[in-house]
């Protein structure tokens, strides 16, 4: 969709659907008052009749209001004005887009210039309107023979909120649009089936990203190259699959060549059967989402290129398929990682860490300022946080605090778990330097402890997105997280 800033009195706006907020108990926003006065109190009548109260995310659509240029007016409840914070704003915006998706309206206008978000500024709200518009209108069609009718909306205009400067609001719109598109890229990669989105497919997407953006250079390493590098841990995961593993390296140059980069590293298990430690069949189809960490890295790299961030960034993806073939790694096998550490593989379904550890070692060559890895790593993270919060563990508390703050700012939250030395001993092995699992307890923490052995040379944080990367049930699908968190963090960094 196209987004623009459009000034003018709310009652004079010519739009196929004009959207205004109403506060709790039917208290009209300034824009709603203007529309109400010009349209013979049509909004007041709806409220007086008890059809609409202004509760948060409540909606009511008024067709063909007399006296207005708009063909429709959508009332959106904003709840208590004194409690209208960022979370409330997101709920209200999403409610508006849910309704407009089914309308034959090609153009929308958000008449919310007077709206104040208690903990955010006008640029944030403007950006969020574009981000949510793109994300809300995403449709998966890639493997369907007949596609559902696409939403009619082509344009969205927004009133200059709270007198914000036109230049900053235009910039905010562009940022929100770019971020919304990136979220959808991550959704699409996650939603594609495992027979389409293979390691080679991910590599091709990364190549295309480099072809489209002069600021990105993409390099793809195959299995022979990884063997020469000594990546025995990563290659042990792909050993049972006919699909060749790929190490995808994307370098974004937004600063001087000698400026140390920031690194993001994604787990890209394009389908995870569990290998010889075979998973149960119930819900195994959702293991196509085991590459959502990789999807977030690819999507984020595209977004930072569009935003032209003035820093250098390296995006690395370890892409494999985990299958129980005749050459598959067995429980009890010992492999040697790129770092030289030997690993006893007690469970082949704890494969993501085996991929990431070699990818993290490879990242050392870039001398990064910080490294964030992103992985759908443990069921324990789902048990701890559900789908709302991403688990965060780090060897640097300042880095962890910064990531938590960024998550709060962009409403893509993360929360830190401890990674104390007491947990490290759970990974002891009688037959190798380290075991790949630490027993039935503290699974998210011991998985991060494993990775920390390969991240000792840089400031590192681990995001376990097993709960936040996708949702199950009737609304099954990838969420695009944590692309907003990654973009927020990188946007705050300096060369």
**Mind telling me the catalytic residues?**
279, 353
Burial bucket for residue 101 (CB in 10 Å: 0-12, 13-18, 19+): middle
Q: Are 464 and 485 in contact (CB under 8 A)?
A: no
């Amino acid at each position: 969709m196209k987004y623009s800033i459009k000034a003018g009195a709310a009652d004079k706006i010519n739009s196929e659907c004009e959207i205004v907020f109403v506060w709790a108990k039917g208290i009209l926003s300034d824009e709603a008052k203007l529309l109400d006065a010009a349209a013979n109190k049509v909004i007041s009548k709806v409220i007086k009749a008890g059809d609409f109260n202004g509760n948060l995310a409540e909606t009511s659509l008024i067709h063909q209001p007399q006296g207005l240029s708009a063909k429709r007016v959508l009332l959106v409840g904003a709840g208590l004005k004194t409690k209208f914070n960022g979370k409330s704003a997101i709920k209200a915006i999403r409610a508006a887009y849910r309704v407009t998706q089914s309308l034959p309206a090609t153009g929308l206008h958000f008449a919310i210039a007077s709206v104040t978000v208690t903990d955010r500024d006008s640029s944030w709200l403007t950006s969020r309107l574009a981000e949510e518009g793109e994300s809300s209108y995403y449709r998966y069609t890639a493997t369907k023979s007949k596609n559902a009718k696409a939403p009619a909306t082509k344009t969205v205009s927004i009133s200059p909120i709270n007198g914000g400067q036109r230049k900053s609001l235009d910039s905010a719109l562009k940022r929100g649009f770019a971020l919304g598109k990136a979220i959808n890229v991550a959704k699409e990669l996650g939603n594609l089936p495992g027979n389409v989105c293979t390691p080679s497919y991910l590599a091709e997407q990364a190549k295309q990203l480099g072809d489209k953006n002069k600021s990105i250079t993409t390099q793809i390493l195959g299995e022979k190259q990884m063997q020469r590098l000594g990546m025995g841990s990563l290659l042990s995961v792909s050993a049972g699959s006919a699909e060749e593993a790929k190490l995808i390296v994307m370098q974004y140059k937004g600063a001087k060549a000698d400026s140390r980069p920031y690194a993001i590293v994604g787990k890209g298990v394009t389908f995870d059967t569990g290998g010889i430690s075979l998973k149960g069949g119930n819900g195994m189809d959702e293991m196509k989402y085991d590459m959502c960490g990789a999807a977030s890295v690819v999507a984020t790299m595209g977004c930072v290129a569009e935003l032209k961030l003035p820093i250098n960034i390296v995006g690395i993806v370890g892409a494999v398929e985990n299958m129980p073939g005749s050459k598959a790694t067995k429980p009890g096998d010992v492999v040697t990682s790129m770092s030289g550490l030997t690993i006893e593989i007690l469970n082949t379904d704890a494969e993501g860490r085996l991929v990431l550890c070699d990818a993290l070692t490879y990242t050392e060559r870039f001398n990064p300022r910080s490294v964030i890895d992103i992985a759908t790593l443990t069921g324990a993270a789902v048990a701890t946080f559900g789908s709302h919060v991403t688990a965060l563990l780090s060897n640097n508390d300042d880095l962890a605090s910064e990531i938590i703050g960024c998550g709060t700012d962009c409403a893509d939250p993360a929360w830190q778990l401890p990674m104390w030395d007491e947990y490290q001993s759970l990974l002891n092995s009688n037959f190798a330097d380290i075991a790949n699992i630490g027993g039935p307890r503290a699974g998210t923490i011991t998985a991060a402890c494993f990775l920390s052995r390969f991240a000792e040379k840089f400031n590192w944080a681990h995001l376990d997105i097993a709960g936040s990367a996708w949702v199950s049930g009737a609304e099954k699908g990838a969420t695009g997280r944590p692309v907003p968190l990654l973009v927020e963090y990188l946007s705050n960094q300096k060369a």
